[in-house]
Amino acid sequence: MEGEVKSMRAICALIGLSFVAAGCGATQTGPRLAGGDKLYEAVTTGNSQVVSVIDSSSHTADRRLPLGTPTTDWKHLYSIVSTSLIDTDPLTGATLATMSLGGTYHLPAATANGMPGGISLNGRWLVAESIETTTTHMLVIDTSTSKVRRKIDLAGSFEFDALSNDGDRLYLIQHLNGREYYVRLYDVVGGRLDENIVVDKSDGNQTMVGTRLSGVASPDGHVLFSMYVREHESPFVHALSLDGPFAFCLDLDGSGYAGSAAEMHWSLAITRDGSVLYAVNPATGVVAVINTGGNATPVVLRTAHFEKAASTGAKSFGANAAVVSPDGKTLVVGGPSGIIWIDTASLKVRSQGLTEWRVATVGLSPDGQNLYAVGDDGRIAEVSMATKTLVSKFDPSEGQPMTLMRVAAS
């Protein structure tokens, strides 16, 4: 199995859109739930990128935070400004701590459109990187003490891939040329690069090619699932074990993005218990059900095809546009022709909505009752998950959406 990492910015041209509630029920807006939600949306505005905290009741931004990588409990948001690491409280916007990095570093990109990553799932460890022409520099930072645990200097071109919860195993992408790469394991405790290549256990291959769109980690932090597309071959999900030097590549139905820009619209969504992962592409009409493994090997259990969305030449934003309902019975995915509801038992499309919107990203309220869909023009629609009716639509005018990072109760 082969795969590749390429730096890319999938920025789509904005188009004028109008709302149509076809497949969503009645065209009128439904009743709103009391209290509303806070939407943490990463946006690009002018020459800057920020996280806008938007109130779903007032339809305006309460505050703007620096774009960064959050802990899973959203008690900390880490960003780098100049040569300092900034720890921000997402709830208030207050600066909790500032740490000098002693040089120019940046947070690693976690998605194809440049969303920051670099943090372990438990939030204890953070990686900052600095990539030069022939050398790569990284800092492994203990966020609990604001101290550098390990300074790493490597000859060659490397990029961050993942970090184990104990902070002992750092996974890197080693670029071999403009197309191929290795996945490598760095021993943080010993301060050395493991001489062995992280191999695909399904076929033993070492060299990979592909473009990483996005990724989701298992809730226990043991596996990172990444969505990859390739220029001339089928897409795949890369399941990287964070407990050792091995991975599994799971091929999906599809073709290369060189022949079809629709291949850039893949998204991943995982159930709350982490037992099932869904890979879905509304632009090609494919959904795959993946057993995440547990004590077994991750495997594609089922694949289904449905009517694909209208043809589009635009590439995706590179961030996920799919969510699973809390009960695991419904998969919702956004794409170039709105949103679709897929029954996870039958893998059949049960409903469609916002059919004239190009949906860049989606998110669920904490109770799973309301779906928020963000169009690639920045407008937001709130839709009832139970009735699939439009609750409200509004334009906060915050900028070009990158991803909806979080939905929190007010």
At 15 the pLDDT is 26
User: Is the pLDDT assigned to residue 142 strictly greater than 60?
Assistant: yes
In our burial notation (b when 16+ CB lie closer than 10 A, e otherwise), range 180-219 reads: bbbbbbbebeeeebeeebbbbbbeeeeebbbbbbbbbbbb
Where residue 1 falls among pLDDT bands split at 50, 70, 90?
A: very low
Say if residue 46 is exposed, middle or buried (CB neighbours under 10 Å; 0-12, 13-18, 19+): exposed
| Domains of the chain, earliest start first | 37-409 (2.130.10.10)
pTM of the model: 0.89
Tell me how far CA of residue 104 lies from CA of 80, 101, 138, 343, in angstroms.
9, 7, 11, 48
The pLDDT mean for the chain works out to 88
User: Is the pLDDT assigned to residue 410 strictly greater than 90?
Assistant: no
At 32 the pLDDT is 45
Among the ranges 178-182, 202-206, 392-396, which has the highest mean pLDDT value?
392-396
Tell me how far CA of residue 124 lies from CA of 3, 141, 143, 145, in angstroms.
29, 8, 5, 9
At 38 the pLDDT is 97
Q: Torsion angle, CA of 378/350/257/274, rounded to 10 degrees?
A: 90
Asked if residues 125 and 167 have their Cβ atoms less than 8 Å apart, the reply is yes
Task: Select from 109, 126, 206, 134 the least CA-distant residue to 167.
Answer: 126
Tokens matching residue 56: 């779903």
pLDDT tens figures, 331-374: 999 999 999 999 999 999 999 999 999 999 999 999 999 999 99
Among 7-16, 29-38, 113-122, name the one with the lowest average pLDDT.
7-16
Where residue 296 falls among pLDDT bands split at 50, 70, 90?
A: confident
Where residue 311 falls among pLDDT bands split at 50, 70, 90?
A: low
At 318 the pLDDT is 59
Where residue 33 falls among pLDDT bands split at 50, 70, 90?
A: very low
At 177 the pLDDT is 85
The fraction of the chain above a pLDDT of 70, given in percent, is 88
At 21 the pLDDT is 32
